[in-house]
Amino acid sequence: MESGNIEINGLKVQSKLGVTETERSLPQQISFDIRMVPRQSMFGLDDCIENTIDYFEVSESVKKLSLDGEWQLIETLAEEVIDSLFVSYPLIEVCVTVRKYVLSDVDNVSVTLSRTI
């Protein structure tokens, strides 16, 4: 059996994210780890970008979604990213981790959500 996935790790973006209006008043840096499993096998792609998922295009779409919206919960943002990736790309599984750098005494807080169709 053949299997494979595409990963984007540590994608840094700006987003208005937080429970309070003050926290959402200015964009803050967050980061994503995204793992995608394409419907099509990743073997035999003939070295053509058209035969796979373009990770640059994915990263740009996640940046745009993150900057254009506003969320209270990182869980909601992760879910919206998953939904948008399933709509835009032929995938069977998506896993998204969102990291927020908001607490002074920890490296980050994070949420990981995944969905398989």
Radius of gyration of the chain (CA): 15
Model pTM greater than 0.85? yes
| Burial classification of residue 31, based on how many CB atoms lie within 10 Å of its CB (0-12 exposed, 13-18 middle, 19 or more buried) | middle
**CATH assignment at residue 35:** 3.30.1130.10
Exposure b/e, 60-84, CB count within 10 A at least 16 = b = ebbbebbeeeebeebeebbbbbbeb
Q: Give dist(CA 107, CA 6) in Å, integer.
A: 26
Share of the chain above pLDDT 90, in %: 87
pLDDT tens-place string over residues 30-59: 999 999 999 999 898 889 888 899 999 999
Any domain includes 13: yes
Any domain includes 1: no
The tally of domains found in the chain comes to 1
CB atoms within 10 A of CB 107: 8
pLDDT tens-place string over residues 94-114: 999 999 999 999 999 999 999
| Burial classification of residue 99, based on how many CB atoms lie within 10 Å of its CB (0-12 exposed, 13-18 middle, 19 or more buried) | buried
Any domain includes 22: yes
Any domain includes 16: yes
**What are the CA-CA distances from residue 20 to residues 77, 78, 90, 103 (Å)?**
16, 19, 36, 14
Any domain includes 57: yes
Any domain includes 51: yes
Any domain includes 55: yes
Q: Domain range holding 55?
A: 6-116
